[in-house]
């Protein structure tokens, strides 16, 4: 577990090791949410990137119904 401080302007520096692990770099977009008494920061995934990451999950003839990836992202978000 890494620790960080909040500065006088409310900014937090995410440790480099964690940024590299999740692929967040300069200019990356993130989503910040309050959940219970925690702050949750996640990397924002653009629809194109999400669609690409979902390629190949369902194969033809699969018993699972094929869904629109953008609809799945909407449910997932």
For the 1-44 domain, the top CATH level (class) is: mainly beta
Phi-psi category of residue 36: left, alpha or beta, with phi > 0 → left and psi -120 to 50 → alpha: left
Query: CA-to-CA distance for 34 and 40, rounded, in angstroms?
Result: 6
- Enumerate the CATH 2.10.260.10 domain ranges in the chain, comma separated: 1-44
Query: What pLDDT score was predicted for residue 77?
Result: 61
Question: Can you give the pTM of this predicted structure?
Answer: 0.57
pLDDT by 10-residue block (mean), the chain, 77 residues: 92 93 91 93 82 72 70 67
């Amino acid at each position: 577990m890494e620790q960080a401080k909040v500065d006088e302007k409310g900014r937090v520096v995410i440790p480099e090791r964690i940024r590299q692990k999740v692929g967040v770099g300069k200019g990356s977009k993130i989503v910040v949410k309050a959940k219970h008494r925690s702050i949750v920061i996640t990397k924002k995934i653009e629809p194109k990137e999400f669609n690409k990451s979902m390629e190949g999950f369902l194969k033809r003839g699969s018993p699972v119904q094929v869904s629109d990836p953008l609809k799945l992202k909407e449910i997932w978000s």
